[in-house]
Every structure is written in structure tokens, then in C-alpha cells.
Amino acid sequence: MAESFSLFRARESPVHSLHPLTKLGLAAFLLVSGLAVPAIWYPYALLTFAVFPLAALSRVLPDLVKVIWRVALPFAISVFLIQGFLWPGGTPILDLGIASLKREGLIFAIASVGRILIMVGAFLWFTLTTRPDVLMIALYQRGFPSSLAYIIVATIQIIPRFQARANTILDAQRARGLETSGNLVQRARGVLPLVVPLILGSLVDVEERALAIEARAFSYPVRKTSLVEIHEAKWERMLRLGLTILLALVLAFSVWIRIV
């Protein structure tokens, strides 16, 4: 599969050879437990001792860190500034005259950034190591409705498709002499010629994909076969069952902590 249409990176690694549902179970456990456990340090521990080692084992760690850095840095700066200085009441720890940094706002910002990091990290690790078409086949073979499997795969592919189309439109507009670099005013002028073709092209792409899947009898109620063989080791089913049980225990523990 072309990498321009997904975040998937083809590598020779033990993780890439896993069944897609095993990787989906791992990502779901990391994401849900990272959001459920109220401890501030827990998302950072999952990212450091689970997501990064899995990404290194998958040989996609540089790609993972690059995207996390681009996504998390602007968000982290804005969250720390807004929550730290605009937190109502609280205990000041740094007084700058017109504003003061609040302890409670800083703690909330650290917790929020940690949850965002584990969400982005778990999702990216899964998409970087899993082919969307193989995931769709695996979901369908496990009894998922074909429409639901398609929605999941299309959601994973939407950002790379938008990015690839935007780059194509940007190159075409530059070839026509459009200024897309320079000061803020010049960049603002180049937004409209980029946005309109992007939206119209995306609508056309949706229609073309709908026609393509209908031409392949996508919604016909029969059991379909596939040329792609998905191998699954017996221990992977046990691993998924263990992750499910462990996630249930983590959720129960997080609820107990909040009640107590």
C-alpha cells in the first residue's frame, strides 16, 4: 500500500508480523488505561515504558517521535500558558505582576498533556505498524459489519489522504505562480486557492470511493474471500484475552480510587 494514503511504514519487525487485532488490543489498552487512571505520572510512564519501546521494536520510533513532537509541542505550550496563568483562584507559585502561575493550573496542564501524549502515541504506533487493508479484512473476518470496518479504516486514512491531496494542490498552485511563502499576508492570500480545491476534491474522492466499493459488491450480504492471508499465532488470542482482563481490572481500580 502506498504510504501516501496511510501512515503505515513497511518494516521487517516482530510487531509488523502480529495480527492486526492484537496490535489494536494493545493500542486500546494503552489509550483507555492512560485516560482512566487518575495518576498524573501514569500516561507518561506508559509512553516511556510501553509506547516508545514498542515503536523501537517496530523500527518506527523516529516517525513516531517526529509526529508527536509536531502535535504535542504547540498544544503543551498553549495548555500550560492558559491553565497555568488563567486558573481561577489557586495557589500562586510565580508572580509576574499582571498574572501569576497557579500550582493547581500547572498540575492540571501536566495531566492534560500526558493524556494527549498517550492518545497520540498509542494511535500513531498502531497506524504506523498496521496496514489499513489488512485491518479491514481482519475485522470483517471476525464478524464486524463491512460498513463499520470500512468506517474504521477510512478514519485512519483520512489525514494522510488530505495531506497528500493538499501537497498536490499546493504544488499545482505554485506552478501557476501563486505565492505560498513569505510574510503572513502573502500566506493568507494563498489559503483560499488551496482550501476550495481541497474541499471539492475531497467530495469527488468520496463519490469515487463510494462507486468503487459498490462496484465490488461491498454491501452484498454474502461471505467474501480475500487474497490476503492473515496469520495468527495461538498465543495472540491469549494475549488479547489477558489485555481485556487487565484493562477491566485497571478500570475497576480507577473507579475505586475515585470513590475512596
Q: Which domain holds residue 161?
A: 132-229
In-domain check, residue 1: no
Closest CA to 210 of 219, 198, 197, 222: 219
Same domain, 25 and 124: yes
In-domain check, residue 4: no
Number of domains in the chain: 2
- Which pLDDT score is estimated for 2? 44
Which residues of the chain fall short of a pLDDT of 50? 1-2
Per the rule left: phi > 0, alpha: psi between -120 and 50, beta: everything else, 59 is left
- Which pLDDT score is estimated for 201? 78
- Which pLDDT score is estimated for 170? 78
Backbone angles phi, psi at 155, to 5 degrees: -65, -40
